[in-house]
């Protein structure tokens, strides 16, 4: 499969969000059907991406990376959309980050040459799949994480039993107490690094990795200080590994920076030094579509933290919306809409009512920011508290901004790209 084949692939009427009367349709033809969201051409709920906002965010990130001299390997798990990966690579992304070997396989099917598995590689099946792919394509540039001597031993044994023809490139993961994966101390980290360096036929230590996004608690300033200290800890691990000459040939890759603190990663990781230089790689997955709540708030803080970012012009714009109908207003203060846990993320905060539109009455969608609050989601319903005099009636369309794009993308195999007038100008397939 490549992108061209994907665009030629046919979607049938069992794909959620596709109008049955419009199916089957080739993915690449959807933008030419003349569909418009506001005309009721799409069955609701649907998820839409504003292409202009994605283009804007894309440009913003390019300028951010130029300014900070960092690279990006955007986390593919956010969208799992090869069409968006292609856009990110065309924008100059260093590679694509993934969380699982299955996600790596999707990247490989779409010809992506450099993949960073930001995770430990475990499991017979999984390790074999990676080694096989390295064997099959000598140009495949793959990295995964290690954070334990046990894990290193398993990779070494697998690679010895099933040689890939070249060492498996690994990044040493630093972590923090109470956090997720990663070595908790420089001593632990060095011990793991030495175990990697002791198996040079099988493994190559290419850099240091960490994920700061789960460092929580305290005031914003305290949290920023924690993140900065953690990034500095990664730099210290790199310094110690370089001092013991544990890194394999080539520039040392230093990577951290999810979608909330990538400024701190992009700037502070440059403090590391290595004989062959360092390559700083951030991994934000959410910048492309941004969101209306969780990352909106986090990136607003980023902009305060980094005054230089303001020189890049308008910041990230939310690009992702889910639309649903009012199906009932059973009490004057309560609206029920045709959107539920199956359709929108709810893991960080509930979705945010932003616009409404009455077919046949409104020329364009109206702002609805103060007209209602989503208070609960069931599998297939949203409960919205509204003022008693709110204007909504059955059949009105409601647009919701999302919080945390990852858990909205994974609810759709098909998302529509729309222009400013909600004309459907394209469609995006995901692979979750």
Site for a second copy in 341-380 (CB under 8 A): 341-342, 346-347, 359, 378-380
Nearest to 180 by CA among 99, 102, 236: 99
Candidate segments 65-73, 222-230, 311-319, 334-342, binder of a second copy by CB under 8 A: 334-342
Nearer to a second copy, 180 or 367 (CB): 180
**Pair of tokens at residue 349:** 């905060």
Q: In this complex, which beta carbon is closest to a second copy, that of residue 14 or of residue 276? A: 14
Rounded-to-integer distance, Cα 325 and Cα 129, Å = 44
Q: Residue 326 interacts with a second copy (CB under 8 A)? A: yes
Distance, first Cα to last Cα, the chain: 16
The whole-angstrom separation of Cα 234 and Cα 374 is 40
- Min separation Cβ 248 and a second copy, Å: 23
Give the whole-angstrom CA distance, residue 182 versus residue 116.
Answer: 16
* Measured distance CA(123)–CA(240) in Å, rounded: 30
Question: Of the ranges 87-95, 148-156, 228-236, 246-254, which one interacts with a second copy (CB under 8 A)?
Answer: 148-156
Residue 9 in contact with a second copy, rule: CB under 8 A: no
Q: And the tokens for 328? A: 């009932």
Instruction: Give the residue with the Cβ less far from a second copy, 39 or 59.
Output: 39
Asked if residue 21 binds a second copy (CB under 8 A), the reply is yes
Binding range to a second copy, per CB under 8 A, among 6-14, 236-244, 275-283, 362-370: 6-14
Nearest approach, Cβ of residue 13 and a second copy (Å):
5
- Regarding 292 and contact with a second copy (CB under 8 A), the answer is no
Which residue, 206 or 381, is less far from a second copy as judged by CB? 381
Give the rounded distance of the alpha carbon of 145 from its chain centre: 18
Task: Enumerate residues 187-246 that contact a second copy by CB under 8 A.
Answer: 214
Q: Which window, 267-275, 293-301, 402-410, 418-426, contacts a second copy (CB under 8 A)?
A: 402-410
Q: Considering only 9-17, 52-60, 239-247, 298-306, which stretch makes contact with a second copy by CB under 8 A?
A: 9-17
Rounded alpha-carbon distances, angstroms, from residue 216 to 176, 186, 219, 223, 224: 11, 22, 9, 6, 9
| Residue 42: CB minimum distance to a second copy, A | 7
> Interface with a second copy includes 329 (CB under 8 A)?
yes
**Does residue 77 touch a second copy according to CB under 8 A?**
yes
x-marked contacts with a second copy along 243-282 as a string, rule CB under 8 A: ----------------------------------------
Residues in the interface with a second copy (CB under 8 A) total 79
Whether cis (ω within 30° of 0) applies to the bond prior to 327 is: no
- Whether residue 238 contacts residue 272, with contact meaning beta carbons closer than 8 Å, is answered with yes
Q: What are phi and psi of 348, to 5 degrees?
A: -100, -60
14 lies in the binding site for a second copy (CB under 8 A): yes
**Inter-CA distances, 193 with 126, 204, 220, Å:** 22, 10, 33
The piece of 17-25, 59-67, 194-202, 268-276 that touches a second copy (CB under 8 A) is 17-25
Q: How far is the CB of 276 from a second copy (least distance, A)?
A: 29
**Least CB distance from residue 314 to a second copy, whole Å?**
28
- Sheet with 168-174, strands from edge to edge, namely 71-72, 278-282, 252-255, 203-210, 168-174, 141-146, 114-120, 96-98
> Based on CB atoms, which residue is closest to a second copy, 128 or 354?
128
Nearest approach in angstroms of CB 366 to a second copy is 19
Give residues with Cβ within 8 angstroms of 143, minimum separation 6: 115, 116, 117, 169, 170, 171, 206, 207, 253
Site for a second copy in 81-140 (CB under 8 A): 99-102, 105-106, 109, 119-120, 122-126, 128-129, 132
User: In the bound complex, what is the minimum distance in angstroms from residue 85's beta carbon to a second copy?
Assistant: 13
Which residue, 221 or 394, is less far from a second copy as judged by CB?
A: 394
Residues composing the chain: 432
Contact between 2 and a second copy by CB under 8 A: the answer reads no
Residues 34-73 that bind a second copy (CB under 8 A): 39-44
CB of 411 to a second copy, least distance (A): 7
Footprint (CB under 8 A) of a second copy, residues 159-188: 175, 177-184
Kindly state the smallest distance separating residue 19's Cβ from a second copy, in Å.
5
């Amino acid at each position: 499969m490549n992108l061209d084949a994907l665009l030629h692939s046919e979607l049938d009427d069992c794909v959620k969000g596709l109008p049955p009367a419009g199916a089957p349709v080739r993915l690449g033809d959807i933008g030419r059907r003349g569909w418009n969201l506001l005309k009721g051409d799409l069955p609701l709920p649907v998820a839409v991406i504003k292409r202009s906002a994605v283009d804007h965010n894309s440009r913003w990130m390019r300028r951010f990376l130029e300014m900070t001299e960092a690279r990006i390997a955007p986390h593919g798990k956010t969208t799992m959309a090869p069409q968006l990966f292609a856009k990110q690579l065309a924008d100059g992304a260093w590679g694509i980050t993934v969380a699982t070997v299955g996600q790596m396989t999707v990247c490989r099917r779409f010809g992506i040459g450099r993949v960073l598995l930001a995770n430990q590689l475990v499991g017979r099946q999984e390790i074999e799949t990676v080694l096989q792919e390295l064997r099959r394509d000598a140009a495949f540039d793959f990295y995964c994480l290690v954070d334990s001597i046990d894990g290193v031993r398993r990779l070494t044994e697998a690679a010895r039993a099933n040689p890939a023809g070249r060492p498996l490139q690994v990044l040493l993961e630093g972590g923090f107490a109470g956090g997720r994966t990663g070595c908790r101390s420089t001593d632990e980290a060095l011990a793991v690094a030495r175990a990697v360096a002791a198996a040079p036929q099988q493994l190559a230590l290419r850099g240091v990795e960490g994920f700061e996004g789960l460092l929580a608690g305290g005031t914003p300033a305290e949290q920023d200080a924690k993140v900065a200290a953690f990034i500095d800890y990664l730099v210290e691990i790199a310094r110690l590994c370089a001092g013991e000459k544990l890194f394999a040939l080539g520039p040392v890759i230093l990577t951290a920076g999810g979608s909330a603190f990538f400024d701190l990663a992009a700037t502070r990781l440059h403090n590391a030094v290595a004989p062959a230089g360092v390559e700083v790689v951030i991994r934000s997955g959410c910048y492309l579509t941004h969101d209306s709540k969780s990352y909106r708030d986090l990136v607003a803080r980023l902009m305060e933290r980094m005054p230089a970012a303001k020189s890049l012009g308008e910041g990230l714009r939310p690009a992702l919306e889910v639309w649903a109908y009012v199906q009932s207003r059973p009490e004057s203060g309560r609206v029920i809409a045709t959107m539920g846990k199956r359709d929108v993320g709810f893991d960080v905060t509930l979705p945010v009512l932003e616009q409404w539109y009455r077919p046949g009455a409104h020329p364009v969608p109206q702002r609805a920011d103060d007209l209602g609050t989503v208070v609960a989601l069931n599998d297939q319903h949203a409960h919205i508290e509204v003022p008693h005099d709110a204007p909504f009636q059955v059949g009105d369309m409601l647009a919701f901004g999302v919080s945390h794009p990852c858990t909205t993308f994974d609810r759709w195999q098909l998302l529509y790209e729309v222009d400013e007038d909600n004309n459907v100008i394209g469609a995006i397939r995901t692979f979750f």
